[in-house]
Chain A
């Protein structure tokens, strides 16, 4: 019974007007959650957490750097799952959702690279190093840009989305390379310090803002994804009846 409700709900979400209604209701809550989590996270990060014994206050950029790095990779995994669903079951909405993951993921990758660079200048004494983690992250940025470029190059958006979905799945090989890059190659970027299973080598007093910021960033990704997908849907369907109806209900 519950399974059936979930299944019907999922199929209903695949229809454009239902998705429009769903996303207009859900995304403000996700934005609010993001605002709340990041305010708490930033407060903890700047005022509660003690300074690092070596890096003093400059390590606090970690609370932007690490969550965006995680989200850059998690966003790619989400995009790959959506792309696989789009290619297998040909659901139009998942095609659009997969494509709309790319600009958000690219933005998080860029934030990760920029904050890492700013952090690296005082700590490592260099803006950039051709280290395995840094290079594989840069490659991720170009894969994201390639996906966006390929999607944009097609006049037929559905075909473009499906072709770009293949590229998404091919680019997935880079994700384990990024994840294991600090274990396979010993270069400049530090190894794994935060573990879900087993003890982290980061002190527990530094953990709370990281958790808040990570949750906040995930909510923001969801909110931005829903908003982008809704806008793309409205743009693509601008000549269709359901969009005209919504627009005429909004006045004039």
Chain B
């Protein structure tokens, strides 16, 4: 069994993303588009913006992560590559996790890197910036995992994208609560450890169970 194919798949996905260029960065542009609408919508007062900043950044990150999900498995499903995953000798769960990792590297990681800019736009207090980035680092992989599950579930349907967002939203509620709780606590000068600990627990839970569910959902869809 050669696991060298897993890095090869990862590299292929990343190379595809790089060569698509702007298209791959659309989720990041979308994130900033949402964040620009916030001060225009609720008013540019720094106090109000600082209060809602953790929630708005997280909601925007969540919406941005939904954008790239539609094409997570669909092209491979349509051209028959997914069936080859089952015919090959590699563990399918490993391939699934590799694909989810590439999704996170393309949509999650840029959000973390640009979080300082987003935080400045909404006047997030400086002492909360580190916690915001940490919460994104722990939380965005969960978004990729749950989003991947929704993408796998809706694969066999024709009108996937709206349904996909509806499936994701109830499942990510705990992530949003603990992540914004951590940032808000840090902004108010309290310890964010309890929230971050629970968020990390969610990540461990999702990391262990979601790939199995994704594999099962893909398998049912290619039958």
What is the bound-complex CA distance between A40 and B160, given in angstroms?
47
Kindly count the residue-residue contacts between A and B in the assembled complex, taking CB atoms under 8 Å apart: 60
Q: Bound state CA distance, A153 and B167, in angstroms?
A: 12
Indicate if A66 sits at the interface (CB-CB under 8 A): no
- Chain B 151-209 residues near chain A, CB threshold 8 A: 153-154, 156-160, 163, 166-167, 169-171, 173-174, 205
Determine, out of B17-25, B105-113, B117-125, B215-223, the stretch whose residues face the partner at the interface: B215-223
CB-CB contacts below 8 Å: A52-74 with B: none
- Nearest-neighbour CB distance to chain A for B194, whole angstroms, equals 12
- Let me know if A146 is at the binding interface, CB within 8 A: yes
Cβ of A149 within 8 Å of any chain B Cβ, yes or no, is yes
0/1 per residue, A111-155, Cβ < 8 Å to B?
Answer: 000000000000000000000000100010011011001100110
A142 touching B154 in the complex, CB below 8 Å, given contacts A159-B221, A166-B216: no
Q: In the complex, which of the residues B153, B157, B163, B173 contacts A139, with contact meaning CB atoms closer than 8 Å?
A: B173
Whether, in the assembled complex, B149 has its beta carbon less than 8 Å from a beta carbon of chain A, the answer is yes
Interface-located stretch among A16-24, A167-175, A203-211, A239-247: A167-175
Evaluate whether A153 and B173 lie within 8 angstroms (CB atoms) in the complex, with A163-B220, A166-B220 already known. no
Shortest C-beta distance, B33 to chain A (Å), equals 26
Are B170 and A170 neighbours in the complex by a CB distance under 8 Å? no
Q: Tell me if A153 and B154 are in contact (CB < 8 A).
A: yes
> Does A230 belong to the interface (CB within 8 Å)?
no
Contact partners of A167 in chain B: CB under 8 A: 153, 167
Contacts of B216 in A (CB 8 A): 87, 166
Given A153-B157, A170-B149, does the pair A146, B170 have CB atoms closer than 8 Å? Answer: yes
Contact (Cβ within 8 A) A142 B169 = yes
**B163 touching A153, Cβ below 8 Å:** yes
Please state if A166 and B217 are interface contacts (CB–CB under 8 Å). yes
Given A149-B163, A150-B153, A153-B159: A170 in contact with B223 (beta carbons within 8 A)? no
Q: Which of A145, A166, A174 contacts B153 (CB 8 A)?
A: A166
Q: Is the CB of A166 within 8 A of B213?
A: yes
A99 CA / B206 CA spacing, docked (Å):
25
Contact assessment for B170 and A163 in the assembled complex, using a CB-CB cutoff below 8 Å = no
Inter-chain contact B170/A171, CB cutoff 8 Å? yes
A174 (CB) vs chain B CBs: closest residue: B170
Would A135 and B163 count as touching, CB distance under 8 A?
Answer: no
A174 contacts across to B, CB distance below 8 A: 170
Tell which of A143, A162, A169, A170 touches B220, judged by Cβ atoms closer than 8 Å: A162
Task: State A232–B20 Cα separation when bound (angstroms).
Answer: 46
Q: A156 within 8 Å of B by Cβ?
A: yes
Most B CB within 10 A of own CB, among A139, A156, A167, A169: A167
CA distance A229 to B149 in the complex (A): 27
Query: Taking the nearest CB of chain A, how far is it from the CB of B19, in angstroms?
Result: 32
CB < 8 Å neighbour of B156 from A139, A143, A145, A163: A163
> Which chain A residue has the least Cβ–Cβ distance from B205?
A173
Assembled-state Cα–Cα distance A39/B140 (Å): 52
Nearest Cβ on chain A to B179's Cβ, whole angstroms: 16
- In the complex formed, the residue of B with least CB distance to A173 is B205
Cβ of A170 and Cβ of B171 under 8 Å apart?
yes
Q: What's the Cα separation between A142 and B223 when bound, in Å?
A: 28
Question: Which A residue's beta carbon lies closest to that of B168?
Answer: A146
The docked-state distance in angstroms from the alpha carbon of A169 to that of B212 is 12
* Min distance, Cβ A188 to any Cβ of chain B, angstroms: 16
15 CB contacts below 8 A, A to B, read: A142-B170, A143-B171, A146-B166, A149-B166, A150-B154, A150-B157, A153-B159, A163-B221, A166-B217, A166-B220, A167-B153, A167-B167, A171-B170, A171-B171, A174-B170
Chain A to chain B: the 8 pairs with minimum beta-carbon distance, closest first: A153-B157, A142-B170, A139-B170, A146-B167, A143-B170, A162-B220, A166-B217, A163-B220
A residues at B contact (CB < 8 Å): 87, 135, 139, 142-143, 145-146, 149-150, 153-154, 156, 159-160, 162-164, 166-167, 169-171, 173-174, 177
| Seed contacts A163-B217, A167-B167, A174-B170; 16 additional CB < 8 Å A-B pairs | A145-B166, A146-B163, A149-B163, A149-B166, A150-B167, A153-B157, A153-B160, A154-B157, A159-B221, A163-B153, A163-B220, A166-B213, A170-B149, A170-B171, A171-B170, A171-B171
